[in-house]
Chain A
Amino acid sequence: DADVTQTPRNRITKTGKRIMLECSQTKGHDRMYWYRQDPGLGLRLIYYSFDVKDINKGEISDGYSVSRQAQAKFSLSLESAIPNQTALYFCATSDPKRGQLGGEKLFFGSGTQLSVL
């Protein structure tokens, strides 16, 4: 079983719909992240959470919200999806307890391809 699991793997939706992408991890890491990847633009950080009570905006948080339901779960919501939110979304975790360099290693889920029509 994957250590970082994202659901769904693929989703097609219509403009204006509310969408939730879910992420769960079995690594026991405190830190969790949501990134989006667009062709030619690389990965960009949407939101990150250093523990259950700590949530921070990343580079491109507008139009998104998150919920850290537990250490193991971090969900991303699009309240009213729009076509330019079509992208590949990745959840990731990290564990700073292992030291600065080792702790900065990101473990990614397999991604969710979202298409907004």
Chain B
Amino acid sequence: RKEVEQDPGPFNVPEGATVAFNCTYSNSASQSFFWYRQDCRKEPKLLMSVYSSGNEDGRFTAQLNRASQYISLLIRDSKLSDSATYLCVVNMGRGSTLGRLYFGRGTQLTVWP
């Protein structure tokens, strides 16, 4: 089983739609969780950290379910500029052992007019 798994999509949604991505991770001792955004053939950039209680940043909401070992990203009122690949990232090390930061394969989103 891969350490971090995501539905690769693609998700094709109209502007204004709400879309959700899920990600599962294999190590129950994982410490921290993130969503990164990557535009085509460009570098990934941090979108959100994911906190235990869930967190929201504008149109974006991230949730963590430790019991089921999954995290989610919800995008409301999709914009054309949201079109990108969304990477689920999990730190399976203890403390700040970033050597054990695992990336999912990414979920591709296309928002159409």
Contacts and interface: CB of A to CB of B under 8 A. Distances in A.
Interface of A: 31, 33, 35, 40-45, 48, 56, 58, 88, 90, 94, 96, 100-101, 103-106, 108-111, 113
Nearest to A42: B105
A66 B4 CA distance: 26
Interface of B: 4, 8, 32, 34, 36, 41-46, 49, 87, 91, 95-96, 98-99, 101, 103-106
A17 B45 CA distance: 32
Given A103-B96, A104-B101, A109 B43 contact: yes
B103 to A, nearest CB: 4
A43 B49 contact: no
A34 to B, nearest CB: 12
Contacts, number: 57
A41 B28 CA distance: 22
A42 B32 contact: no
21 contacts: A40-B105, A42-B104, A42-B106, A43-B87, A43-B103, A44-B103, A48-B99, A58-B99, A94-B98, A100-B96, A103-B96, A104-B34, A104-B96, A104-B98, A106-B36, A106-B46, A106-B101, A108-B45, A110-B42, A111-B41, A111-B43
